[in-house]
Chains A and B, each alone.
Chain A
């Protein structure tokens, strides 16, 4: 699985958009980009995933660059409850769905 690089931490004001970047320059053509988050010590929570097109759901938007070497997760109106560790994970190829978690980005949403 391709390796991902994320900033260790980011801050965001409540009500503003949070834009979390991720680099995955070694991604291969059949690998998806997934985003999960973990609040405190709860189980990771799926947010969104995509292959090459931009995606949007009720939680977030995912913007993938045309060369697929990087992506951005957008939380359009961050709330205090969005404070969490956000993981960008590339998954696909020959794995049976194994998710390889990195250290992620600690997003802190301030009042």
Chain B
């Protein structure tokens, strides 16, 4: 069964550095999402992306965050200048419709030092 794949599985970065998290959704997905989960806390929505533009974003998704799907396959989340509080698991998800089930990757653990 096709899977959503995320790379890297673990990223360690110095505070203030830029980081790019990558996701390869399932090929027939049209809607793409990023969520994050701080250790011991709830899964939180960051952003949804459809038709090559952001359709919805949360308060967490400030100017330091950006998303793009440059080549029609990879879906990336960029954090421009990381902060300690950005340390979390970041999950990518995709779906075929806005109210169809979302399929999640296994996440990237981001550790900011």
Contacts and interface: CB of A to CB of B under 8 A. Distances in A.
A97 B102 contact: yes
Given A98-B48, A99-B35, A43 B99 contact: no
A46 B33 CA distance: 14
Contacts of A45: 104
Nearest to B41: A103
Interface string A64-91: 0000000000000000000000010001
A96 B48 contact: yes
Majority secondary structure of chain B interface residues (helix, strand, loop or mixed): strand
Given A42-B106, A43-B107, A97 B48 contact: yes
A53 to B, nearest CB: 16
Contacts, number: 66
Contacts of B78: none
* Chain A interface helix/strand/loop/mixed: loop
B55 interface: yes
Given A38-B43, A102-B42, A97 B91 contact: no
B42 A96 contact: no
A96 B31 contact: yes
Interface in B55-70: 55-56, 58
A76 to B, nearest CB: 20
Interface string A17-38: 0000000000000001010001
B25 interface: no
A75 to B, nearest CB: 17
Nearest to A104: B42
A46 B99 contact: no
A90 B89 CA distance: 23
B31 A97 contact: yes
B103 interface: yes
B42 A43 contact: no
A30 to B, nearest CB: 9
8 contacts: A43-B4, A46-B101, A97-B98, A98-B56, A100-B45, A101-B42, A101-B43, A102-B42
